[in-house]
A = this chain, B = another copy of it.
Amino acid sequence: MDTPLPASSAIEDYLKAVYALETRLEGPVPTNALADRLGVTPGSVSGMLRRLDELGLAEHERYRGVTLTAEGRRVAMRTLRRHRLLELLLVELLDVPWDRVHGEAELLEHVLSDELAERIAAKLGDPEFDPHGDPIPSRELDLTERETRSLEEIEIGETVCFLRVSDADPAMLRYLSERGIVPGVTLTVADRQPFGGPLTVRHAGGDHALGGQLAAAMRVA
């Protein structure tokens, strides 16, 4: 059993969501969290979780939450790999702006053959990170997360490397890219206001004020 993993788009989306919440939440993922993330009603989630359980992709304990099985995690990883490879492809080869690739990849990831995915990976030189700095699972579907800190918690005067930011909010991404702040650049924290206030970073000679939410979403090292 190494290749019986074709799944519907909906199933792939659920597995991706469970995976994402599992890593953020530690422990079984509650139904409502999934419903929120996927933009469907809790009732719909309940029904799908039953199916995922029957398919052996997740273990769902009633009223407790859901956990991925090894097989479910593989499907999630495969989808994540496709997603991130596509994002990089769109940015590198097709000049799609940074902030638009996520939605596009979200659709394409479900209709990509294994063969094409690997061809894309080869063309891109077997990349390890997507344009937002998110790690791309290996061909063997292993994923290693990097240690990062939130930009929020960096002290004044510290100089750090901007590693990663969520791909979910196009407005944030546009704001950052307009200022040349993309994963890989070096930032120095020049000033910092408490209580979600703005944080000032110096980069390539210019100063930029970053709102609390933005700073919280940015991961650095």
A146–B115 alpha-carbon span in the complex (Å): 34
| Candidates B90, B110, B119; contact of A116 at CB < 8 Å | B90
With contacts A93-B123, A119-B94 taken as known, whether A111 is within 8 angstroms of B113 at the C-beta atoms is no
Q: How far is the CA of A93 from the CA of B120 in the complex (A)?
A: 9
A143 interfacial contact with B, CB 8 Å: no
CB contacts (< 8 Å) of A90 on chain B: these are: 116
Task: State the copy count for this chain.
Answer: 2
Q: Does A96 contact B (CB under 8 A)?
A: yes
Shortest A103–chain B CB gap in Å is: 8
Q: Which residues of B contact A5 (CB under 8 A)?
A: none
Q: Name the residue on B nearest A120 (C-beta).
A: B94
Instruction: Check B119 against A111 for contact (C-beta < 8 Å).
Output: no
A156 contacts the other chain (Cβ, under 8 Å)? no
Do residues B123 and A94 form an inter-chain contact, with CB atoms below 8 A? yes
Task: Write the A122-138 contact mask toward B (1 if CB under 8 angstroms, else 0).
Answer: 01000000000000000
Question: A residues bordering B, Cβ < 8 Å?
Answer: 90, 93-96, 100, 103-104, 107-108, 110-113, 115-116, 119-120, 123
Q: A96-B115, A108-B108 are in contact. List 12 more A-B contacts (CB 8 A).
A: A90-B116, A93-B93, A93-B123, A94-B116, A94-B119, A94-B120, A94-B123, A96-B116, A103-B113, A108-B111, A108-B112, A111-B111
Pick 14 A–B contacts, CB within 8 A, sort by A.
Answer: A90-B116, A94-B119, A94-B120, A95-B123, A96-B115, A96-B116, A103-B113, A104-B113, A104-B116, A107-B111, A108-B108, A108-B111, A108-B112, A110-B111
